[in-house]
A and B are shown apart, each in its own frame.
Chain A
Amino acid sequence: MRSLKADRVDQPRRDPAPSRWGYRYQRLMLTPGFRKLVKVGLPALVVCGLVAGWGAREANRQMVADAYNDMKTQIQQRDEFMVKVMAVDGADETLSADVRTVLPIEFPVSSFDLDLEEMRQTVAALPAVADATLRVRPGGILQVGVTQRQPVAVFRGPDGLKLIDAEGVLIQAIVARADRSDLPLITGDGARDFLSEGLEIYRVAGPLLPRMRGVVRMGERRWDVILESGQRILLPYADPVIAFERVVALNQAQDLLERDVAVVDMRNPTRPTIRMNEQAVTNLRQTSAPQE
């Protein structure tokens, strides 16, 4: 019978069996949850710990940030990303000079440093600009596409003559009315808000057009038409265009405005009224007085 005592040390018996703890360890490692924990969770934990420990020092963090910024700058400053000139399209000389003034960019500059949307809003905020597009063209060109506002009338305001577009936006100041004699003149408080009405009055003027000096918005309510000789046509606040057409027709039929008339008052459409000059009144009285 072999010894029941523990094996003698000098003669170790070869035993293929795993030890009790080795067996348990193997079974534990075959448990899916534990296996995942050891193979994924533990390494992840160690890596996170190392990174956190290393990053706990301010100098290390600074080093990482510096290296990052350095590399970022290096890439952004490459030739491929540099913008060297600005090209402005669709604007006349004054406007393109204005555009260059509001976009004070020192070329060359990296395209990463350009905030195109903000620059576009800056350009679009110019009074003479209806719309603007900005893009960086290949070859390092900052392309500014501008749609200019088209003046439709001259507006006389308290601070001088200005061009005005169809939407009532003041575009630019002009020195003299004669500079843009091709455009109608519109003035008066609130005239800008009813610009289309004023322009409509101009449109129906017909033969009266050469004699028209301008239209005036009166009391932010109704229009007056001023003619060359200082004659005024007072239009009602409702349907001023029809009233003006009537005046034009009257003029054609009876040469109304060729006479010494100071004011044609159409404010009450059912009762047009004429105010004559003092001289004319006197003459009228003399001629129409009964002969005694």
Chain B
Amino acid sequence: MRDLYQSQRAMRNMRQAAMQRGVVAILDVGSSKIACLVLRFDGPEQFGDADGVGSMAGQSSFRVIGAATTRSRGVRFGEVDAMAETERAIRTAVQAAQKMANVRVDHVIACLSGGRPRSYGLDGQVDVMGQVVTEGDIGRVLAECEVPDIGEGREVLHAQPINFALDNRSGLADPRGQIGQSLTTDMHLMTVEDSVLENLLYCIKRCDLELAGIASSAYTAGISSLVEDEQELGAACIDMGGGSTGISIFMRKHMIYSDCVRMGGDHVTSDISMGLQVAPAMAERIKTFYGGVLATGMDDREMIEVGSDTGDWERDRRTVSRAELIGIMRPRVEEILEEVRVRLDAAGFEHLPSQQIVLTGGASQIPGLDGLATKILGQQVRLGRPLRVQGLPQAATGSAFSAAVGLSLFAAHPQDEWWDFDIPAEKYPARSFKRAVRWFRENW
């Protein structure tokens, strides 16, 4: 845990440096596409209102000056599968975005969807040292949380305090300065496989970029596609990507649970490819143009040419009806949504005061998906698109970009994490005095 604390802190410092420089890149490494946005931070926002409430929830402090996407190669289930291919794809995206922005980007904030994320709820309790709760008390109570056995080869990705309680009062957002004796906290810990993380870091490092932060894409998709009320009252964001479907549950503006279903739009495509005996590229095209999940009588009569490039173009003029296509797609989509239902049930989603479910991500663009999702997930389902941010090209405003847009919001206003608070003094190793002397000597 100590190493994690140090490395995450280093990443935070890197992010500060990047913000000071004013340019930072956002990298969404997905299974179907890799998106890169270049953000420019202009310091305090220019069009601030007189009453101090910024426009657009405060995200107008940055501007997207470069955006590029490329087909992802070598990523499966949101995990790096072929290093060299992934590295090349990242290079392509970064270079194109840099070219559009006409600046060189050195710092990158990345998000990943794979790595089998797992959520843990932690709690800790300490006695307040003085009369009032200080920042040191918060650091202590966070350090006091009992870390469960997260398993071999796993790494903490997020560790966010989501609730504070002082004596018998719970639900405090910020207990600092309040009077009490016993401080309790709830923390949400999210872990991923460290090999996945390391592979991604290695790919980014090979591109001469420095990592200034890393986040889960389910979390960032939730930031951008859930509106403020939904985040406050409780909602789930289903980020239906190419290789995996991320689930994040928000409550009181904090993510309280996250999970991942390792199925996505690519599986639908491969079903079509196998069912219709066509190439995957053709299957993808058919899915995009004619896909759907609710068949009507009209669909029996709409015939789709599935001619594949067998070289026998004259003879191979097969056609299928759209109803057949829907018949192939629907079971797979249902399977994904049912799996999501299982995960939500396991998380106790039904106990939340509001049970809004927002579908976003590239695969959520299938026509009729909201109708199907209503049957499986409940009545409160809507399709979500990412928030509008300044300078984002029209091509990147679709729901496939909710993770990337959310990541840029996350970069502008990161959530407090455990490592943002000072580690309590007694937890420092004994050589801390020696370290202080060294610091003094280095800096003076």
Contact = CB atoms under 8 A, between A and B. Distances in A.
Interface string A8-37: 000000011110100110110011100000
B279 to A, nearest CB: 15
Contact of A23 (B70, B95, B102, B103): B95
Interface in B91-121: 91-92, 94-95, 98-99, 102-104
Interface string B60-84: 0000000000100000000000000
A34 B112 CA distance: 34
Contacts of B89: 17
A30 B92 contact: no
A26 B92 contact: no
Nearest to A29: B104
A218 B95 CA distance: 106
Contacts of A15: 88
B104 A30 contact: yes
Interface residues of B, number: 14
A27 B104 contact: yes
Given A18-B92, A30-B98, A23 B207 contact: yes
A23 B98 CA distance: 11
B100 to A, nearest CB: 11
A129 B207 CA distance: 88
B45 interface: no
A147 to B, nearest CB: 71
Contacts of B98: 26-27, 30
Contact of A27 (B70, B88, B102, B208): B208
Contact of A18 (B91, B102, B104): B91
A161 B94 CA distance: 104
Contact of B103 (A17, A18, A20, A30): A30
Contacts of A16: 70, 92
A17 B102 contact: no
Contacts of B95: 18, 23, 26-27
Contact of A17 (B91, B99, B104, B208): B91
Interface string A36-68: 000000000000000000000000000000000
Contacts of A26: 95, 98-99
A17 B95 CA distance: 9
Contact of A24 (B88, B99, B103, B208): B208
For chain A, which range describes its interface: under 10, 10 to 19, 20 to 34, or 35 or more residues?
A: 10 to 19
Contacts, number: 31
Contacts of A24: 208
A7 to B, nearest CB: 12
A15 B94 CA distance: 15
Given A16-B70, A30-B98, A23 B91 contact: yes
Contacts of A31: 104
A20 B207 CA distance: 8
Contacts of A20: 91
Interface string B150-193: 00000000000000000000000000000000000000000000
A32 B208 CA distance: 17
Contacts of B99: 26
A23 B92 CA distance: 8
B240 to A, nearest CB: 26
Nearest to A30: B104
B130 to A, nearest CB: 51
A279 B103 CA distance: 123
Nearest to A24: B208
Contacts of B94: 23
B72 to A, nearest CB: 12
B95 to A, nearest CB: 5
Nearest to A16: B92
A165 B70 CA distance: 101
Contacts of B102: 30
Contacts of A30: 98, 102-104
Interface in A169-198: none
A15 B89 CA distance: 10
Q: Considering residues B70, B94, B104, which has the most beta carbons from chain A within 10 angstroms of its beta carbon?
A: B104
Nearest to B93: A17
A32 B89 CA distance: 25
Interface string B208-252: 100000000000000000000000000000000000000000000
Contacts of A17: 70, 88-89, 91-92
A15 B92 CA distance: 10
B80 to A, nearest CB: 15
A177 B274 CA distance: 140
Contacts of B88: 15, 17
A66 B85 CA distance: 66
A157 B99 CA distance: 97
A197 to B, nearest CB: 85
Nearest to B90: A17
A18 B93 CA distance: 10
A17 B92 CA distance: 5
Nearest to B207: A23
14 contacts: A16-B92, A17-B88, A17-B89, A18-B92, A18-B95, A23-B94, A23-B95, A23-B207, A23-B208, A26-B95, A27-B208, A30-B103, A30-B104, A31-B104
Q: 10 nearest interchain CB pairs?
A: A17-B88, A30-B104, A17-B92, A23-B91, A31-B104, A18-B95, A27-B104, A17-B91, A16-B92, A23-B95
Interface of B: 70, 88-89, 91-92, 94-95, 98-99, 102-104, 207-208
Given A17-B89, A24-B208, A27-B95, 13 more contacts: A15-B88, A16-B70, A17-B70, A17-B88, A23-B91, A23-B207, A23-B208, A26-B99, A27-B98, A27-B104, A30-B103, A30-B104, A32-B104
Interface of A: 15-18, 20, 23-24, 26-27, 30-32
